[in-house]
Amino acid sequence: MNEIVMNGLEKTIYEEKLGNGLEIIYVPYEDKNNYIITYGVRFGSEITEFTPFKSSKSQKVPAGIAHFLEHKMFEQETGEDPFTFFSKTGTSANASTSYTNTKYFCYGTKNFEENLEYLINFVNSPYYTDENVEKEKGIIAEEIKMYADIPDWKLDAKLKECIYKIYPRRVDIAGKVSDIEKITKEDLYLCYKNFYVPNNMFIIISGNFNKDAASKIIHTKLDSKKSKTLPVVKNYKEIIEVNKKYLELESDVNVPKVGIGLKIYRKDLSIKEEYYLDLYLEMFKTILFGSSSEFREYARVNNLTSSFGTEWETADKFKTLLITSNTTNPDLFIEKIKSLLLNHEIREEDFNRIKKVWIASEVKIIDYIEATESNIYDDILSYHKIYNDRVDIIRNMSLETLNKLIKQIDFNNISVVKMISKKE
Task: Tell me the CATH class for 246-421.
Answer: alpha beta
**Tens digit of each residue's pLDDT (9 = 90 or more) over 328-363:** 999 999 999 999 999 998 999 999 999 999 999 999
Of the pLDDT bands very low, low, confident and very high (cuts 50, 70, 90), residue 308 is: very high
pLDDT (0 to 100) of residue 148: 85
- DSSP bridge partners of 14: 3, 26
Q: How many Å separate Cα 285 from the centre of its chain? A: 18
- Please give the average per-residue pLDDT across 23-29, as a whole number: 96
pLDDT (0 to 100) of residue 80: 84
**Tens digit of each residue's pLDDT (9 = 90 or more) over 50-65:** 999 989 899 999 999 9
Tell me which of 23, 46, 70, 75 is the catalytic residue.
70
pLDDT (0 to 100) of residue 202: 97
C-alpha span between 144 and 180 (Å, rounded):
10
Q: Is the Cα torsion angle 341, 342, 343, 344 positive or negative in sign?
A: positive
Every domain range in the chain assigned CATH 3.30.830.10: 2-233, 246-421
pLDDT (0 to 100) of residue 9: 86
**Tens digit of each residue's pLDDT (9 = 90 or more) over 368-396:** 999 999 999 999 999 999 999 999 999 99
Of the pLDDT bands very low, low, confident and very high (cuts 50, 70, 90), residue 1 is: confident
Fold of 2-233: Cytochrome Bc1 Complex; Chain A, domain 1 (3.30.830)
Of the pLDDT bands very low, low, confident and very high (cuts 50, 70, 90), residue 163 is: very high
**Tens digit of each residue's pLDDT (9 = 90 or more) over 81-122:** 899 999 988 899 999 999 999 999 999 999 999 999 999 999
- Please give the average per-residue pLDDT across 169-186, as a whole number: 95
Of the pLDDT bands very low, low, confident and very high (cuts 50, 70, 90), residue 316 is: confident
pLDDT (0 to 100) of residue 422: 81
Could you tell me which residue, 408 or 316, shows the higher pLDDT? 408
Residue 161 dihedral angles phi and psi, to the nearest 5°: -65, -35
CA-to-CA dists, residue 62 to 66, 146, 187, 227, 421, angstroms:
9, 20, 8, 26, 33
CA-to-CA dists, residue 320 to 190, 210, 229, 236, 340, angstroms:
31, 41, 31, 17, 17
pLDDT (0 to 100) of residue 295: 94
- DSSP bridge partners of 60: 49
pLDDT (0 to 100) of residue 79: 82
**Tens digit of each residue's pLDDT (9 = 90 or more) over 112-129:** 999 999 999 999 999 999
Q: Are 380 and 386 in contact (CB under 8 A)?
A: yes
Whether the predicted pLDDT of 424 surpasses 60 = no
C-alpha span between 350 and 402 (Å, rounded):
12
Task: Provide the CB-side half-sphere exposure for 340 (13 A, CA).
Answer: 22
- Please give the average per-residue pLDDT across 404-422, as a whole number: 96
User: To which H or E segment does residue 105 belong?
Assistant: strand 102-108
pLDDT (0 to 100) of residue 322: 98
The sheet with strand 49-51 has its strands ordered as 59-60, 49-51, 232-233
Q: Which long-range contacts (CB under 8 A, 24 or more apart) does 324-327 make?
A: 324/152, 324/155, 324/156, 324/159, 324/257, 324/258, 324/259, 324/260, 325/257, 325/258, 326/255, 326/256, 326/257, 327/255, 327/256, 327/257, 327/258
CA-to-CA dists, residue 32 to 217, 369, 385, angstroms:
22, 8, 26
Tell me, yes or no, if 70 is annotated catalytic: yes
pLDDT (0 to 100) of residue 54: 87
Mutual angle of helices 399-407 and 274-289, in 10-degree steps: 90
pLDDT (0 to 100) of residue 149: 85
C-alpha span between 158 and 155 (Å, rounded):
5
